[in-house]
């Protein structure tokens, strides 16, 4: 039986989504309906950061599969730690919506000063040394200057996986959701609202779920390069494989090849897809060689990959003016976001393999053994 909270949460999605038309629960069909049903069963609600992808059902499924199999499934890393890392990655990507969601869930699971320190970006005040190092690592995971991974290779599928998932979600949320899921109130009222939300989110996150339950939403796929970090846990490896292949296939059908090649080249050879702002003259220069009709899509894709918080209404409107509909916008940005996240995962796994043989990592809390 559907809970009152679940039914009420269905009304939240339309008010949170910008630029595209969300698919209401009552209108969901086919793959979208399957994802919504699983989300309500395993997550307790239709989460706007996932539901924003619904205009492109395959991209929606890929996003849900990643979130479920990495964050929700019980494993070697507890849910609270993964929520703290998710909030930290969101801090690094300047995604206030995801910071509020995941620091509030962390607060609901553990309570106390550590959750508030994560939310306020006061990493040095976190008392637990392992948590402090993990939060710092997540906070800096998208940049060029990254700390050594403070975890073992056995934990990599969940911790690198959490970072990869939220480097994707942060980019999409920055573009398509409002600034915060919490009401626009301040002071003690905001604190009370946050505590109430923490109680709800903590209860929803406390149950856990079994591995592999979402994999049938996407077809099997051959593993591409860049997913070595996932190899230690079969359900995570399969989720990453299927999600990446599905999004790549969708993009191949609707995103111009020249745009995909440009973004792919820049991710491989340019600066890491971190939180720093994109220089507008650089953006104009790197897109200058494209046909006029492809430049708006290229600009949106590059900003999505490198600095999603810089996407403005005007950037989206330029794509609309070229005839892109909701499905094409979500496919374009979803592909760019996941491509950037995949590049982050490759770099983080490289750090881990280097750390495994480097003496400098030996004294890290929880460091590679």
Element (H, E) at 238: helix 234-254
Residue 83 CA neighbour count, 13 Å, CB half: 29
Tens place of pLDDT per residue across the chain (369 aa): 466 677 777 877 788 999 999 899 999 999 999 999 999 999 988 999 999 999 999 999 999 999 999 999 989 999 999 999 999 999 999 999 999 999 999 999 988 788 889 989 999 999 999 999 999 999 999 998 899 999 999 999 999 999 999 999 999 999 999 987 766 656 665 666 666 767 767 776 766 789 999 999 999 998 888 899 999 999 999 999 999 999 999 999 999 999 999 999 999 986 656 667 888 888 999 999 999 999 999 999 999 999 999 999 999 999 999 999 999 999 999 999 999 999 999 999 999 998 654 333 444 444 433
Query: Is the distance from CB of 368 to CB of 149 less than 8 angstroms?
Result: yes
Active-site residue, 355 included: no
Can you tell me whether residue 184 is helix, strand or coil?
Answer: coil
Q: Which residue, among 221, 254, 266, has the nearest Cα to 324 in the 3D structure? A: 254
Threshold 0.85, pTM exceeds: yes
pLDDT confidence of residue 165: 98
pLDDT confidence of residue 184: 63
How far, in Å, CA of 305 to CA of 299, rounded?
A: 10
How far, in Å, CA of 336 to CA of 208, rounded?
A: 30
- 304: which 2 tokens? 């999505």
pLDDT confidence of residue 138: 98
How far, in Å, CA of 84 to CA of 246, rounded?
A: 28
Q: Which of 98, 319, 355, 361 is catalytic?
A: 98
């Amino acid at each position: 039986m559907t809970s009152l909270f679940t039914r009420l949460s269905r009304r939240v999605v339309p008010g949170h989504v910008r630029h595209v038309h969300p698919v209401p629960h009552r209108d969901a069909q086919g793959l979208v309906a399957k994802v919504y049903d699983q989300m309500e069963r395993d997550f307790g609600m239709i989460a706007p950061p996932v539901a924003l992808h619904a205009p492109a059902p395959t991209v929606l499924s890929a996003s849900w599969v990643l979130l479920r199999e990495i964050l929700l499934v019980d494993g070697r890393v507890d849910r609270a730690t993964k929520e703290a890392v998710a909030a930290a990655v969101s801090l690094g990507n300047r995604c206030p919506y995801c910071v509020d969601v995941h620091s509030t869930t962390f607060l609901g699971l553990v309570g106390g000063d550590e959750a508030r320190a994560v939310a306020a970006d006061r990493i040095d005040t976190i008392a637990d040394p392992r948590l402090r190092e993990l939060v710092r690592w997540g906070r800096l995971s998208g940049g060029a200057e990254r700390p050594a991974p403070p975890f073992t290779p056995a934990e990599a599928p969940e911790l690198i996986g959490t970072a990869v998932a939220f480097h994707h979600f942060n980019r999409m949320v920055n573009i398509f959701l409002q600034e915060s899921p919490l009401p626009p109130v301040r002071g003690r009222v905001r604190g009370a609202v946050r505590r109430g939300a923490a109680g709800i989110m903590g209860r929803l996150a406390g149950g856990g779920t079994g591995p592999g339950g979402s994999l049938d939403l996407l077809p099997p796929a051959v593993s591409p390069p860049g997913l070595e970090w996932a190899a230690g846990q079969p359900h995570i490896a399969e989720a990453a494989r299927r999600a990446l292949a599905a999004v790549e296939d969708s993009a191949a059908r609707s995103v111009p090849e020249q745009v995909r090649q440009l973004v792919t080249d820049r991710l491989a050879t340019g600066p890491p897809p971190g939180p720093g702002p994109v220089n507008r003259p650089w953006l104009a220069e790197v897109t200058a060689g494209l046909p006029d009709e492809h430049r708006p899509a290229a600009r949106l894709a590059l900003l999505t990959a490198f600095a999603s918080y810089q996407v403005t209404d005007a950037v989206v409107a330029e794509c609309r003016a070229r005839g892109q509909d909701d499905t094409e916008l979500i496919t374009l940005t979803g592909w760019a976001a996941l491509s950037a996240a995949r590049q982050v995962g490759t770099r983080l796994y490289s750090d881990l393999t280097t750390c495994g043989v480097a003496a400098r990592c030996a004294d890290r809390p929880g460091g590679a053994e």
